[in-house]
């Protein structure tokens, strides 16, 4: 196995060279990519929108709050509506995804990601070249579920936020911008009539996130999965560049291990990983790999 410790000019040049001569690029994105874009789930960003929930329930980051035992569905959805909006409908603080699109523009690309924040599509990537394996903050599903169906949630989420005392920066059309605090303190629950329920069976809605066996793989998910497999099959003999960005060890079987295996199987393939954490690569593909330890945004800017 081979590790890496720092960004070197030689590593950047190797990555750039392989990207330029690749016939297609398969992008694998994990939480580290969105973290580089400023989507932090703790710290100042958490304090700004969830200090009232922190004081009551004593959790200190958004992720932990997702597992809190809230007193009611009204309170649960007050929390989740804030969580959804700032991580799905607000723009990321830094233009990492937009810069990355600039880097690969003109390339035959497909992206598979465990992120559920929709940042690829918001940045302008072709939605038919994206596979969100773990769900989407922008979708509800029946908690049972009674149907393999998901529902767009933006309108419902905005109503929940307004009921708590939020407004929106662009008040003319209600799109984009930051949340505006119109009252202090905010309400920590929504009206009962805004609690989302399944239009088919009447059971409570839940988030379309892969947490357990109830996760709904709807028609859109299945079509994206097929398009991804078709892309891999079509390019199995091409000079393929497998580019892994910010993928950790939580779910390596989705991106990391398949990328290693696909690189091993194809002598025309090259593998690269950019991550803030120390990485390793199997000896079998060491000569066709480059590993960069460092911030993804800085690496992309260096490449551009």
Going along the chain from its start, the domains and CATH numbers come out as 1-39+92-136+216-304 (3.40.50.1220), 40-91+154-195 (no CATH)
Query: Other CB atoms closer than 10 Å to residue 70's CB: what's the count?
Result: 18
pLDDT at 138 over 60: yes
Among 111-115, 142-146, 151-155, 277-281, where is mean pLDDT lowest?
277-281
The candidate with the shortest Cα–Cα distance to 48, out of 189, 157, 184, is: 184
pLDDT at 2 over 80: no
- pLDDT class for 169, splitting at 50, 70, 90? confident
Q: What's the confidence (pLDDT) of residue 5?
A: 41
Which residues lie below 8 Å from residue 191, measured CB to CB, with a gap of 6+?
74, 163
Q: What's the confidence (pLDDT) of residue 176?
A: 56
pLDDT at 304 over 90: no
Q: What are phi and psi of 23, to 5 degrees?
A: -85, -25
Q: What's the confidence (pLDDT) of residue 130?
A: 98
pLDDT digits 0-9 by tens, 243-301: 999 998 888 999 999 999 999 999 999 999 999 887 889 999 999 999 999 999 999 99
The beta strands (E) that lie in 78-187 are given as 109-113, 130-132, 135-142, 150-152, 166-168, 179-181
pLDDT at 6 over 70: no
174 or 121: which carries more pLDDT confidence? Answer: 121
Q: What's the confidence (pLDDT) of residue 178?
A: 85
Task: Provide the pairing of β-strand 24-29 with 109-113.
Answer: parallel
Q: What is the enclosing helix (H) or strand (E) of 272?
A: strand 270-275
Q: In whole angstroms, give the CA distance from residue 173 to residue 122.
A: 18
pLDDT at 173 over 50: no
For the record, the structure tokens of 256 come out as 């990391």
Longest Cα–Cα distance in the chain: 61
């Amino acid at each position: 196995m081979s590790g890496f410790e720092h960004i070197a000019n030689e590593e950047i040049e190797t990555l750039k060279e392989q990207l330029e001569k690749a016939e297609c690029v398969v992008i694998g994105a994990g939480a580290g990519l969105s973290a580089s874009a400023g989507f932090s789930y703790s710290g100042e960003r958490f304090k700004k929108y969830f200090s009232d929930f922190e004081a009551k329930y004593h959790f200190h980051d958004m992720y932990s709050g997702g597992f809190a035992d809230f007193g009611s569905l009204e309170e649960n959805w007050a929390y989740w509506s804030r969580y959804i909006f700032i991580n799905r409908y607000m723009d990321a603080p830094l233009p990492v995804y937009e810069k990355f699109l600039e880097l690969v523009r003109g390339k035959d690309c497909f992206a598979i990601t465990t992120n559920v924040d929709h940042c690829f599509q918001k940045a302008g990537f072709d939605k038919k070249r994206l596979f969100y394996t773990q769900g989407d903050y922008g979708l509800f599903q029946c908690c049972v579920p009674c149907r393999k169906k998901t529902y767009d949630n933006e309108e419902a989420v905005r109503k929940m936020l307004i009921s708590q005392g939020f407004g929106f920066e662009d008040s003319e059309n209600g799109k984009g911008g930051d949340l505006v605090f119109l009252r202090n303190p905010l309400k920590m629950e929504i009206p009962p009539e805004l609690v989302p329920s399944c239009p088919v069976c009447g059971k409570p809605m839940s988030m379309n996130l892969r947490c357990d066996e109830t996760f709904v793989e709807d028609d859109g998910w299945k079509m994206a999965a097929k398009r991804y497999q078709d892309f891999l099959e079509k390019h199995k003999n091409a000079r393929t560049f497998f580019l892994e960005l910010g993928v950790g060890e939580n779910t390596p079987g989705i991106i990391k291990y398949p990328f290693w295996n696909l690189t091993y199987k194809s002598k025309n393939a090259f593998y690269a990983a950019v991550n803030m954490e120390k990485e390793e690569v199997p000896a079998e593909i060491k000569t066709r790999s480059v590993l960069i330890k460092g911030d993804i945004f800085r690496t992309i800017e260096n490449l551009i």
